């Protein structure tokens, strides 16, 4: 069986998909988002190597808590960097009626279709909807995440969209309306959630000896985020 590099496991998470879920934070990410709060997940060679069979044993123990809506979520890092592992894990979960959720920025490579066939829900982290701004914010290639999104469209897998609102970067009404137009063109979106930028991960950069790109950016106002949440929902309705 496949073995994966796991940063950490949250036994019963409440914010990474519907219901109560066991959340696997996988090691490795090809993006360097300016507001990333998990820089300790960047390197693929970190974390603990765990086999699918061992994880399934853990999930069986937690399964009574999942109820009708909970299950397992693979997050990161970027779980698509370990796509063979996640695909095998989700395949085993489906055999035992455990709901599967993929929390991703869509930045990986591999057989997306095989993975999406055993994925019940995708939490898709939209970094930016414009290619040039996407690269400036993440250091990544917008075409890579677009390819993944096209695979999700083809598979018709249900999507929850998430987007981090950062002061002076992604918090303008014009940006939110543009994001709404981008989302409106995606047919299988079930939910859209704006997340306020926070600074809780800054200490990790200090410990790692890495400069934090947004050290002068304050946390996003939660009340303004609520106003923008209403704006985007109005723009896609």
Domain membership of residue 63 as a residue range: 3-236
Per-residue model confidence (pLDDT) at position 5: 97
The total of other beta-carbon atoms located within 10 Å of residue 143's CB is 9
Q: What is the pLDDT of residues 176-219, one digit of tens each?
A: 999 999 999 998 999 999 999 999 888 899 888 999 999 999 99
Per-residue model confidence (pLDDT) at position 1: 82
Q: Is 112 left (phi over 0), alpha (psi -120 to 50) or beta?
A: alpha
pLDDT band at 144 (very low <50, low <70, confident <90, very high): very high
Which distant-in-sequence residues (6+ apart) come within 8 Å of 140 by Cβ? 30, 31, 32, 107, 127, 134
Separation of alpha carbons 111 and 235, rounded Å:
33
Q: Total structural domains in the chain?
A: 1
Structure tokens at 91: 């395949």
User: CA–CA distance from 85 to each of 39, 49, 57, 77 (Å)?
Assistant: 22, 11, 16, 14
* Phi, psi for residue 74 in degrees, rounded to 5: -100, 120
Structure tokens at 28: 């490795």
What are 121's strand-pairing partners?
A: 101, 158
Structure tokens at 34: 């300016």
Question: What percent of the chain shows pLDDT beyond 70?
Answer: 100
User: Cβ(17)–Cβ(98) under 8 Å?
Assistant: no
Q: What is the pLDDT of residues 18-55, one digit of tens each?
A: 999 999 999 999 999 999 999 999 998 889 999 999 99
**Per-residue DSSP letters for 28-59?**
--S---TT-S-GGG--TT-SEEEEHHHHHHHH
Per-residue model confidence (pLDDT) at position 233: 95
**Per-residue DSSP letters for 101-130?**
EEEE-S---S-HHHHHHT-SEEEEE---SS
CATH number at residue 70: 3.20.20.70
Question: b/e for 59-69, b at 16 or more Cβ within 10 A?
Answer: beebbeebeee
pLDDT band at 12 (very low <50, low <70, confident <90, very high): confident
User: CA–CA distance from 54 to each of 51, 64, 193 (Å)?
Assistant: 5, 18, 33
Structure tokens at 185: 């063109």
Q: How many CA atoms lie within 13 A of 159 on its CB side?
A: 26
- 3-state secondary structure at position 85: helix
């Amino acid at each position: 069986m496949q073995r994966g590099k796991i940063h950490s496991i949250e036994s019963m998470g409440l914010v990474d998909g519907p219901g109560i879920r066991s959340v696997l934070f996988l090691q490795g990410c090809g993006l360097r988002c300016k507001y990333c709060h998990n820089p300790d997940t960047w390197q693929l060679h970190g974390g603990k190597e765990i086999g699918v069979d061992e994880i399934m044993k853990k999930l069986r123990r937690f399964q009574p808590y999942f109820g009708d809506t909970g299950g397992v979520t693979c997050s990161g890092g970027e779980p698509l960097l370990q796509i063979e592992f996640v695909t095998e894990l989700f395949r085993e979960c489906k055999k035992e009626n455990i709901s599967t959720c993929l929390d991703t920025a869509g930045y990986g490579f591999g057989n997306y279709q095989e993975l999406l066939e055993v994925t019940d829900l995708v939490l898709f982290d939209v970094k930016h909807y414009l290619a040039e701004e996407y690269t400036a914010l993440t250091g990544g290639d917008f075409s890579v995440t677009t390819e993944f999104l096209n695979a999700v469209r083809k598979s018709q897998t249900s999507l929850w969209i998430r987007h981090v609102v950062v002061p002076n970067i992604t918090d303008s009404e014009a940006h939110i309306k543009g994001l709404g137009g981008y989302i409106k063109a995606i047919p299988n979106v079930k939910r859209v959630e704006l997340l306020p930028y926070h600074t809780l991960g800054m200490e990790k950069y200090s410990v790692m000896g890495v400069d934090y790109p947004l050290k002068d950016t304050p946390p996003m106002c939660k009340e303004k985020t609520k106003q923008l949440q209403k704006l985007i929902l109005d723009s896609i309705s």
